[in-house]
């Protein structure tokens, strides 16, 4: 607080006595994954309305990036990633301005590697972890920080949730498996990027916590029972489907083209073999093969009938029979 008071008094003295505007304070570059933000603090003045202008040196000439802005930061993310860049900023008050404050910035050296992403999957007594390199600012979405630097290693640490003991692991690849963990236990994982050739470490990611599961497998007899039950159920289902299709087929066939069925009594009659033979031989033959015989029918008359009538009589056939006397 005392330092702020001295700055305010100094600013008042410069403006009132010398007519000078004090320069911005604490000028610095905040760069993460090549997102380059130049920041500063406004000088203490008895009256406001201060604005700022920020520039960078390009081919021996300074180029404006932010002009007459009231913000205390300016985005320089469009700078080339390689080489040293000279940046400067000044404060302005109406037609007066402060001196320039210069800094030198090399993006590939000075930018901070942001925290990588993580995908954690809990399996039997283990955690399967996939690392995702941070993306690069102002580049295609598939372009990551790993494409900028040759050497790339992941520093990982994990611990039981609620415990202070942490176990470090160095990972050369994008995939890592933590084995032989306690089942049904929650573990937390953090990771950061390390560049061996640059001796440079990145920011730690937020902890990701997952609970492991047990590797207990089902007994073999349970597997056999499940397989058999599934097979039987499948067979029954298939048989039911076939029966249903056959029933639908029969009903559809009868509805479209119903058959001519024999009466029930005729079916019963024809079911006996001797009836079939009788029916076969009962059909009349042609007239050329027909043979007829004469038949006479003689009836026996009782004595009482003879006495009453006194005469005998004879019966003839429709074709003309013989009398009893002739017989």
- Reported as a pLDDT band with limits 50, 70 and 90, residue 220 is low
Residue 207 has pLDDT above 90, yes or no: yes
Q: Specify the DSSP class assigned to residue 94.
A: T
Residue with structure tokens 């029930």?
264
What is the distance of C-alpha 271 from the center of its chain?
67
The reported pLDDT for the residue numbered 313 is 43
The reported pLDDT for the residue numbered 174 is 94
Q: Specify the DSSP class assigned to residue 288.
A: G
What is the distance of C-alpha 63 from the center of its chain?
50
Cβ(42)–Cβ(91) under 8 Å?
A: yes
Higher per-residue pLDDT: 108 or 17: 108
Residue 270 has pLDDT above 70, yes or no: no
What is the per-residue pLDDT across 29-79, written as a single tens digit (0 to 9) for each?
A: 999 999 999 999 999 875 568 999 999 998 889 999 999 999 999 999 999
The reported pLDDT for the residue numbered 233 is 87
**CA atoms of 320 and 323, how far apart (whole Å):** 10
The β-bridge partners of 129 are 120, 176
**CA atoms of 161 and 177, how far apart (whole Å):** 18
> Comparing C-alpha atoms, which of 168, 174, 100 is closest to residue 144?
174
Lowest mean pLDDT segment, chosen from 13-27, 80-94, 173-187, 197-211:
13-27
Lowest mean pLDDT segment, chosen from 22-31, 42-51, 192-201:
42-51
- Provide mean pLDDT across the span 220-228: 72
Q: Specify the DSSP class assigned to residue 312.
A: -
What ranges in the chain are assigned the alpha helix state H? 2-13, 107-110, 220-256, 264-270, 273-281, 303-309
The reported pLDDT for the residue numbered 315 is 39
The pTM (predicted TM-score) of the whole model is: 0.60
Q: Phi/psi of residue 171, each to 5°?
A: -115, 125
**CA atoms of 149 and 155, how far apart (whole Å):** 16
**CA atoms of 32 and 110, how far apart (whole Å):** 9
What is the per-residue pLDDT across 235-258, written as a single tens digit (0 to 9) for each?
A: 988 888 888 888 887 778 767 665
- Provide mean pLDDT across the span 262-284: 59
The reported pLDDT for the residue numbered 17 is 46
**CA atoms of 72 and 136, how far apart (whole Å):** 24
Higher per-residue pLDDT: 303 or 43: 43
- Provide mean pLDDT across the span 285-303: 57
Lowest mean pLDDT segment, chosen from 39-53, 192-206, 291-305:
291-305
Cβ(126)–Cβ(181) under 8 Å?
A: yes
The reported pLDDT for the residue numbered 323 is 43
- Provide mean pLDDT across the span 262-273: 65
**CA atoms of 32 and 76, how far apart (whole Å):** 12
- Reported as a pLDDT band with limits 50, 70 and 90, residue 19 is low
- Tell me what the pLDDT averaged over the chain comes to: 80
Residue 303 has pLDDT above 60, yes or no: no
> Comparing C-alpha atoms, which of 270, 123, 254, 127 is closest to residue 189?
127
């Amino acid at each position: 607080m005392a330092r702020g008071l001295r700055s305010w008094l100094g600013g008042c003295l410069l403006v009132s006595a010398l007519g000078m505007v004090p320069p911005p304070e604490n000028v610095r570059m905040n760069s993460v994954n090549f997102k380059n933000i130049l920041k500063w603090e406004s000088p203490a003045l008895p009256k406001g309305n201060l604005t700022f202008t920020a520039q960078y040196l390009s081919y021996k000439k300074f180029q404006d990036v932010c002009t007459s802005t009231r913000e205390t930061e300016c985005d320089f993310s469009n700078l080339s990633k390689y080489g040293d860049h000279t940046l400067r900023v000044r404060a302005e008050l109406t037609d007066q301005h402060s001196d320039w404050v210069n800094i030198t910035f090399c993006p590939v050296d000075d930018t901070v590697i942001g925290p990588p992403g993580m995908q954690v999957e809990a399996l039997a007594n283990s955690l399967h972890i996939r690392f995702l390199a941070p993306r690069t600012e102002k580049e295609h979405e598939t372009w990551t920080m790993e494409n900028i630097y040759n050497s790339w290693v992941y520093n990982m640490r994990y611990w039981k949730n609620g415990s202070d003991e942490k176990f470090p692991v160095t990972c050369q690849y994008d995939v890592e498996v933590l084995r032989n963990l306690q089942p049904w236990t929650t573990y937390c994982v953090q990771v950061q990027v390390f560049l061996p050739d640059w001796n440079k470490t990145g920011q730690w990611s937020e902890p990701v916590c997952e609970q492991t599961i047990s590797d207990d497998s089902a007994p073999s007899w349970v597997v056999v029972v499940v397989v058999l039950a599934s097979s039987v159920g499948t067979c029954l289902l298939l048989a039911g489907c076939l029966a249903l299709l056959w029933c639908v087929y029969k009903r559809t066939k009868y509805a479209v083209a119903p058959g001519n069925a024999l009466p029930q009594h005729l079916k019963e009659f024809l079911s006996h073999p001797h009836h079939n033979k009788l029916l076969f031989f009962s059909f009349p033959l042609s007239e050329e093969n027909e043979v007829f015989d004469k038949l006479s029918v003689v009836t026996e008359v009782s004595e009482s009938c003879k006495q009453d009538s006194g005469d005998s009589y004879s019966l003839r056939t429709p074709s003309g029979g013989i009398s009893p006397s002739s017989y």
